[in-house]
Structure 1
Amino acid sequence: MIKAVLFDLDLTLLDRDVSVERFVSHQYDRHYAALQHIPREVYAAAFIELDAGGYVWKDIVYEQLVRQFGIENITPAELLDDYVAQFHKSCVPYPGLKAMLDTLKTEGYALGLITNAIGDFQQRNIEAIGIEPYFDVILISGWEGVKKPHPDIFLRALDKLGVEPEDSVYIGDHPLNDVEAARHVGMKGIWKSHTRWEQPAQLDGVVHDLIEIPALISRL
């Protein structure tokens, strides 16, 4: 019997693709004096490519952008500081997020969130889309000192919830860090589909939209 549902954040609950597009456009506007020699769409496309879905930290991204475009009036460190301080203002959830969480809470499931990121940065993103109150436990790797796919971060969350792995589900977009890692510790692993990845070979379900989740959990 499923007692707890745990989630990844980026590309699972938070539409990071749209959020990044919004952020880069706003950053371009804030620093137009330094970036105006680069067309907005060119700057945005270069950032998104270098960012690699969030798997390249932004110090490297901005160093490469400054070199690539010959940016002179603002430093990589200043652009990075702007990213850290401002990204949360551009965060956009996937449609139906709060309705889905409301349904799960009403049905009595304990809810958890496990995400790989720097603590303060990711906490602001969680708060920006208004979902913190829904969760009984939130673990951010930067604060925990361990990150997915290491089993300890999953087991730590389950321990805080007082739930056994076999009575829990983890939902995320990454085949290895989310689905395979959760199944490795005995949880059910559900893939939140995304075109960035191929579907995992081993899983316990697939969802394309958040609104599908409560019904799938009930079937499990």
Structure 2
Amino acid sequence: MIKAVVFDLDRTLLDRDKSVKVFVEKQYDRLNTDLKHIPKEKYITKFIELDQRGYVSKDKVYQQIVDEFNVTGLTWQELLADYNSCFKDSCVPFPNLNRMLETLRDHHLMLGVISNGRGQFQLDNIQALGIEDYFETILISEWEGMKKPDPQIFYKALEALGVAPAESIYVGDHPENDIKASQNVGMKSVWMKDERYDGVQADFIIEDLTEVPVVVEKINE
């Protein structure tokens, strides 16, 4: 019997690809005085390319942007500070996010989040999506001193929710950090399908968040 659902954040609840594009457009407009020598589309494309879907630290991204585009009116530290303080204003949820969480809560399921990343930054994004109150536990790697795929961060979430691994499912997009890691601790895995990965061995595959309650129902039958 499934009693709890635990989620990844980026590319699972938060549409990070869309959010990044919205943010970079806004950043360019906001800091246009010092960036206007760079064509807007070129700035956006270069940021997305260097960011590598969030797997490259932003200090490196902005250092390269400043060097490559010869930005003189702003330091990379100022661009990074702008990213840290303003990204939350560009958060785009995946469709049906609130509807899905409401449905799970109506079925008395315990809910949690495990996210790799910086503590306050990720919490700001969760709050910006307006979903913080749905979760009984939110674990963010910087604050926990460990990150996925470390099994201990999964065990800590399960302990906080008061459920056994077999009584829970984990929903995420990354084949190793989310799917394999949650399976390794005995949770059922649900892969939020991402065309960039092949051959992901998840217990369930979804393309829309409304499918999460359906998966729970299927297991509990």
Does the alignment reach a TM-score above 0.5?
A: yes
Question: How many residues in Structure 1 have an aligned counterpart in Structure 2?
Answer: 219
- Partners of 1:198 and 1:138 in 2: CA distance: 29
Aligned to 1:217: 216
Q: Aligned pair 1:101/2:101, yes or no?
A: yes
Is residue 2:42 matched to residue 1:42?
yes
Q: Return the offset for 1:198.
A: 2.3
Consecutive aligned runs of 4 or more in structure 1 exceeding 6 Å deviation:
none
Q: Using the alignment, how far apart are the partners of 1:203 and 1:92 within structure 2? A: 26
Distance 1:36 1:188 in 2: 49
Spell out, residue by residue over 1:35-66, the C-alpha distance to the aligned partner (whole angstroms, 9 max, x if none): 10111110000000100100111000000111
Q: TM-score, normalised by structure 1?
A: 0.98
Q: Does 1:140 align with 2:140?
A: yes
Aligned partners of 1:46 and 1:195: how far apart in 2? 22
Which amino acid counterpart does residue 206 of structure 1 have in structure 2?
Answer: I
Taking structure 2 as the reference length, the TM-score comes to 0.98
Q: Which amino acid aligns with 2:68?
A: Q
CA RMSD, Structure 1 to Structure 2 (Å): 0.7
Q: Alpha-carbon deviation of 1:67?
A: 1.1
* Unmatched 5+ stretches in structure 2: none
Q: Distance in 1 between matches of 2:95 and 2:207?
A: 11
Aligned-pair identity (%): 53
Q: Which amino acid aligns with 2:212?
A: I
CA–CA distance in structure 1, aligned partners of residues 199 and 59 of structure 2: 30
**Structure 1 residues without counterparts, runs of 5 or longer:** none
Note the C-alpha offset of 1:195: 2.2
Task: Map 1:22-41; keep pairs closer than 5 Å.
Answer: 22-41=22-41
Q: Distance in 1 between matches of 2:10 and 2:24?
A: 17
Alignment check: 8 A CA contact 1:191 1:199 kept: no
Q: Give the distance between the partners of 1:105 and 1:48, measured in 2 at CA.
A: 35
CA distance in 1, matches of 2:60, 2:182: 30
